[in-house]
Amino acid sequence: MRFLRSPFTVSSESNRVGLRLTGVPIAPVDGADIVSEGIVTGAVQVTGEGQPIVMLPGHATIGGYTKIATVVDEDLDRLGQLRPGDVIRFGEAEADAPVWMLRDLVRLARLVIARGVGEFAFEDHATGARLRIVRGRE
């Protein structure tokens, strides 16, 4: 995957919402725009121009760009310390990645429910993992 092999430079357009990166464009397979869906801090989205944006704490709760990765919790603080011009590379997560992905989903579900939605459900068809939260119950 070109994303994992390529260096990216932090753009001066970065802010508390997202860390905008520039580098070799990543061409989405089915286009960059998707039906809006929930996103978590650390989600990596790709714009129509093929440039990644890493969602930071000020991000919206939903997004409509293709998501290609999620930064692990342990690396989120480092992202907030990057400055325009810094160069970064992404790597694959260790084997416990499904655990942190489920933690992210639980956080997202609680946020969605806190905003008045009564139920949140998720199923990963590749692994069979399921998560369902109904207003206060997991």
Report the predicted TM-score, pTM, of the whole model to 2 decimal places: 0.65
d(CA 128, CA 4): 26
**Angle, nearest 10°, between helix axes 73-80 and 97-114?**
70
Query: 51 or 109: which carries more pLDDT confidence?
Result: 51
pLDDT tens digits for range 9-35: 999 999 988 999 999 998 766 655 566
Dihedral sign, CA of 73, 66, 30, 101? positive
pLDDT of residue 20: 94
User: pLDDT of 94-124, one tens digit each?
Assistant: 655 566 666 777 777 777 666 666 666 666 6
Exposed (0-12), middle (13-18) or buried (19+): which is 18, by Cβ within 10 Å? buried
Q: Are 66 and 45 in contact (CB under 8 A)?
A: yes
Residues 6+ apart with CB under 8 A from 76: 41, 42
Of 13 and 92, the one with more pLDDT: 13
